[in-house]
Structure 1
Amino acid sequence: MSDTPQPSQSQPQPPQGAPVNAAPAPAPAPAQPAASKPKKNRKGVKTFFIAFAGAAVACVLALGIFVAVNPSNSGYTIKETNSGITIDVDTDDMSLAEAVAAKTLPSVVNINVYANTSQQSMSPFGMLGSQSATQELQQTSLGSGVVLTADGYILTNNHVVDGADALEVVAEGETYKAKLVGTDPSSDLAVIKVDGATLKPIEIGNSSDLKVGEWVMAAGSPFGMEQSVSTGIVSAVNRSYADSESGAIYTNMIQTDAAINSGNSGGALVDAEGKLIGINTLIMSTSGTSSGVGFAIPVDYAFGIAEQLIQGKTPSHAQLGVSLITVNNELAQRFGIQATEGAYINSLTAGGAAAKAGLQEGDVILKVDGESITSSSDLVLAIRSHSPNDEVDVTYLRDGKEETTKVKLGADTQ
C-alpha cells in the first residue's frame, strides 16, 4: 500500500501540461498558449502550477543561439581537458553567461513528441465496407532534454514524453529518432535514447549544497525556440508539491527566477561552472507564462532515478505503508481526536514500515524529524524526501498523548 491521501480530502491542484493543436508532422502549426487549471490562493488570485511539456509546435523555429567566445579580453577562459570543460571567470555576469552557455548548450536537446491519429476515408459511392482507417503521426507537443551519456541516453520529464508514439531529438542541429527507455511517473522523470549518434554529455554537478542567491542558468526550448538560455539565481531550496491527480510527488525542488516557459520542461538548470544541478519542471504563475517562480528537480535525486531506469529497474521511493486522511475540525469531532491538524492513519500495510514501528490505525502523525505535519500531503512529501531504509523520528498522537518512535522507511517496490 502506498502512502496515499484518501480521495475525499482536498489536495493541491495538479500542474498542467501545455499541449499544442495537432498538426501533421513535420510542418509547424500556429503557436498556442499554455493550458492550465486555476488554483485559488489565500488572496483569491488565480494561480497556475504548470508542468510545461511544450506549448507550441508552431514555435519550432530555426532559431540558433550563437555564442562568441573570445579568450582574449573576454574576462573568462574555457579549458577543455580529458576530464571535461572548465570555466574560469574573472569579470561580469555577461561574460559568465556566454561561457556557461557555450559549455551547456551542446548537451541540451529539443524533444518533439508525436502521436498516432486515425484518419477515416470512404468511397465516393458510399458503399458498405468502403470505409478505411489509416494511422498518421502528428506532432502533439515538445520539450527539452539533457544528454547524460555520449552513446545517447537523455534525461527529461515524464510529462514531456507521456503518450508519445514516436520521439524525435534535435541535438546540435542534427535530428535523430529516439526511443523510450523508461519512465517514473511518480517523480515525473523519464529517460529516452538516441542510437547511432555520439552526443555531448553534460557535466553532473551537486544539488545538495546549493545556497540561496547562487547564480544559475536555465537552458532548453521555450516555445520550441531551441538552444535558448535564461539566467537568474537560486531563489529557494527544498520546495515540495504533490499532484494528487497524476500521482507525481516533487520534493526538495530548487526554486529559481530564471525564466522557464512552455517547452523548457526536461531542460537543464546549471550552476556558474556549467554543471547540471536540476531538471526544469514546473512554474507557478498567474498568467500561464514565466513570472520568475520556476522549479527544478534536484540533480542528486534525478540522476539516481535515471540510473535505475537505464539499468532497466523500477525506481523505488521511500514510504511508510499507510493510507491517510487529513485531520480537520469535522474529522476531529467525528472521531474524538484531540488535534485539529495532522495526518490520520486510516489503515496500514501488514508488515510495512509503520506497522513494524508500532504505529496503529487511528494514530495522528504530527511531526517527522521535528517538522510539523499539518496534512496527509505534508506527510507524503516528508517521507518522499528520504530514501528507502532511512530512519526518521515520527511524532504521533494516540489517546490524547504525544509519542515519538523511530521508523525505518520501506520502499514502494517491496
Structure 2
Amino acid sequence: MRRPALYSASRPPTAPTPPGEPPMPAAPPEAAAARGPRPGAWARRLGHPATLWGVIGLLAAAVLALGWRLQHAPAPLTQKAIDEAVLRTLSTEVLPSPQARAAAAVAPSVVHVQSLGRNAKGQEVELGVGTGVVIVDKGLILTNLHVVQGSRSVRLTFADGTESGASVVGARPEQDLVVLQAHTVPDDLKAATMRSTDDLLPGDAVVAVGFPFGIGPSVSAGVVSGKGRSFRSPEGQQEIGNLIQFDAAANPGNSGGPLVTLDGAVVGIVTGILNPTSHKTFLGIGFAVPIESAATAAGLPPF
C-alpha cells in the first residue's frame, strides 16, 4: 500500500538539488519569522468564529461609547442659559444687601475709641467713647477732637480685638478732627478706602458704622440729605461748615466713625447730630466732615 506524503509544519519541502550543484542552504529561523504568516493566514484567522465575535464586540463597544459621549456632551453656553442660572441662584441663595456689603468692606478699619481719666481716688475711668477709622495701615486713625479732648490717655480696640494706647499726632480743631497714632498695630491692619465727595448727591445711600453708647460695631443706613451744611454743637463754641447732612441713625459714640457709600468707600467722618432738646439722641439729622478735609488733617493729599 502506498503511504501518504508527509510535510513538515515548520518549513516547506525543498526541491531536489540538480546533480553537480551544491545543496541550497536552509533559511535561518529568524528569516522565516521575518517573512510573517503566509498569504491567507489573516483571512483564515478572521474567519474563525471566536475572532469574528471579538471584532464585532469591539465595534459595538466603540459605537456605544461614541453614543454616550454624544448624549452627555455639554450643551453650548448661551445667554439664555446664563440668565436662567442667575435667576436660579437669586431664587435659591440669600445674598447680602448692598448696605451689608458696604459695612463689611469698612469693618476691618473701624476702631473703638475710649478716652480715659482718673477719678478722685486716682482710679482710671472712662470719660467718653467714640469711633475711629484707620486711614493708613501703619496705625493712623481719624476721629473727632471732642472724643479725646480732656483725656489723660486714649485706648483703642481694633476689629481683631487688639488693644493699644494712642497718641495725638495731628489736629484740626476748626473741623473737630484729630489724628491718632496707635502704639501697637495689629498684623495685616487694613486701611479704609476713601472717596471724593464731588459726585456725592442728595439721595445717595450711605451707611454709618460706629459704637453708639459704646455698643457695636453697629450699622445704620440712610441717605445723604444735603451738602454744604453748617452745625454748632450745644457745647461747642465754634460753628463747623461744609458738612454732609445724612439721615442714617447716629448717637453719642458714633462720633469719629465713617460715613460710607454702598461701594464701601469712606466719604465722611461723623461729627454730630442735631437735637434741639437737651437729650443727645438722634432725630433724623446727622452731620459728617467730608473726607477731603479729614484727609488733609492727617497730612494726606486731597483727592
TM-score range, shorter chain: 0.5 to 0.7
> What secondary structure sits across from 2:123 in the alignment?
strand
Aligned residue in 1 for 2:109: 107
Structure 2 equivalent of residue 176 of structure 1 = 164
Question: Does 2:143 align with 1:156?
Answer: yes
User: Following superposition of structure 1 onto structure 2, how do residues 394-413 of structure 1 map, counting pairs within 5 Å?
Assistant: none
What amino acid does structure 2 have at the position aligned with 1:277? V
Q: Which amino acid letter does the alignment assign opposite residue 270 of structure 1? A: V
* TM-superposed deviation, 1:245: 6.9
Specify whether residues 186 and 105 from structure 1 end up closer, same or farther in structure 2 by C-alpha distance, changes over 3 A only. Answer: same
Unaligned runs of 5+ residues in structure 2 are: 1-87
For the pair 1:194 / 2:196, whether they are aligned, the reply is no
Q: Deviations over 1:11-41 (max 9, x none)?
A: xxxxxxxxxxxxxxxxxxxxxxxxxxxxxxx
Task: Tell me which protein shows more strand as a share of its residues.
Answer: 1
What letter matches 1:269 in structure 2?
A: L
Residue 299 of structure 1 corresponds to 291
Percent identity for Structure 1 against Structure 2: 37
Aligned amino acid, residue 197 of structure 2 = S
Give how far 1:247 is off: 4.2
Post-superposition shift, 1:272? 1.1
* C-alpha contact (below 8 Å) 1:219/1:229 kept by paired residues: yes
Give the Cα separation in 2 of the matches to 1:224 and 1:239. 27
Q: Sort the Cα spacing of 1:73 and 1:262 in 2 relative to 1 into closer, same or farther, 3 A.
A: farther
Cα distance, 1:207 vs structure 2: 1.3
Aligned CA distance change for structure 1 residues 244 and 108 (closer, same or farther; 3 Å): closer
Aligned match of 2:250:
260
Is 1:248 aligned to residue 250 of structure 2?
no
String of CA shifts for 1:194-246, please: whole Å, max 9, x gaps: 12314211001111221110010000101101211100000111101356974
* Counterpart position of 2:131: 144
* SS of residue in 1 equivalent to 2:151: coil
Instruction: Give me the TM-score of the superposition, normalised by structure 2.
Output: 0.63
User: Equivalences for 1:80-119 in 2 at 5 Å?
Assistant: 95-119=97-121
| Pair 168,73 (structure 1): closer, same or farther in 2 beyond 3 Å | farther
Q: What is the 5 A alignment of 1:317-332?
A: none
Query: 2:259 matched to 1:272?
Result: no
Matching residue's letter, 2:287? F
With structure 1 as the length reference, what TM-score do the two structures score? 0.47
SS of the residue 1:103 aligns to: helix
Higher-helix-fraction structure: 2
Give, as a single letter, the amino acid of the residue that structure 2 aligns with 1:197: V
Q: CA–CA distance in 2 between the matches of 1:190 and 1:245?
A: 18
8 Å CA contact 1:115–1:139 kept in 2: the answer is: yes
Q: Matches of 1:248 and 1:105 in 2, distance apart?
A: 31
Contact kept in structure 2, 1:208 and 1:300, CA below 8 Å: no
Cα deviation, residue 175, structure 1: 1.6
Assess if the C-alpha contact under 8 Å between 2:233 and 2:272 holds in 1: no
Distance of 1:177 and 1:243 partners within structure 2? 28
Name structure 1 gaps, 5 residues minimum: 1-71, 76-90, 120-134, 312-414
Cα 1:110/1:245, change in 2 over 3 Å: closer
Partner residue, 1:222: 212
Gap change, CA 1:183 and 1:117, over 3 Å in 2? farther
Letter aligned with residue 101 of structure 2:
A
Q: How many residues align?
A: 207
Residue type of the partner of 2:202? Answer: V
Q: Which residue of 2 aligns with 1:370?
A: none
Shift of 1:275: 0.4
Which string of whole-angstrom CA distances, capped at 9 and with x for unpartnered residues, describes residues 145-166 of structure 1?
0101111000000000101111
